[in-house]
Amino acid sequence: MTDETDHADATQHTPAETEPVDGAELADRLVEASVLTEDERANDLVLADRFQYNWRRRIEHLRGREPTDFLGLLLDTNPETLTVTDEEGLTVSQQGVTVGEWPSEAALVADVAAFVTLGEVFPGWDDLRGSTRDELVARLRVFLESCPACEGALTAEDAETAESAPTVTCEDCGAVVF
Ligand SMILES: [Zn+2]
Count of structural domains within the chain: 1
Q: What is the pLDDT of residues 54-80, one digit of tens each?
A: 999 999 999 988 888 788 888 888 989
Q: What is the pLDDT of residues 106-155, one digit of tens each?
A: 999 999 999 999 999 999 998 998 888 988 998 899 899 999 999 999 99
Q: What is the pLDDT of residues 154-171, one digit of tens each?
A: 998 877 777 777 789 999
- Bridge partners of residue 93, in order along the sequence: 83, 98
For the CA atoms of the chain, what is the radius of gyration? 16
* Domain contains 14: no
Torsion-angle region of 46 (φ positive above 0: left; ψ -120 to 50: alpha; else: beta): beta
Residue 68 CB neighbour total at 10 angstroms: 14
Pair 136, 142: CB distance under 8 Å:
no
What's the pTM? 0.81
- Compute the distance from residue 175 Cα to the ligand 1 centre, in Å: 6
Q: Which residues have C-beta within 8 Å of that of residue 116, sequence separation ≥ 6?
A: 1, 4, 58, 73
* Domain contains 170: no
Domain that holds residue 28: 21-145
DSSP 121: H
Q: Phi first, then psi: give them for residue 29, nearest 5 degrees.
A: -65, -35
* Domain contains 2: no
Q: Which of 123, 94, 104, 108 is nearest to 11 (CA)?
A: 123
* Domain contains 16: no
State the Cα–Cα distance between residues 155 and 157, nearest whole angstrom: 7
What is the bridge-based pairing of β-strands 82-86 and 90-94? antiparallel
* Domain contains 10: no
pLDDT level of residue 48 (50, 70, 90 thresholds): very high
- Compute the distance from residue 127 Cα to the ligand 1 centre, in Å: 34
- Compute the distance from residue 132 Cα to the ligand 1 centre, in Å: 28
- Residue 71's alpha-carbon distances to 33, 44, 81, 124, 152, in angstroms, are 25, 32, 11, 22, 24
* Domain contains 159: no
- Compute the distance from residue 44 Cα to the ligand 1 centre, in Å: 26
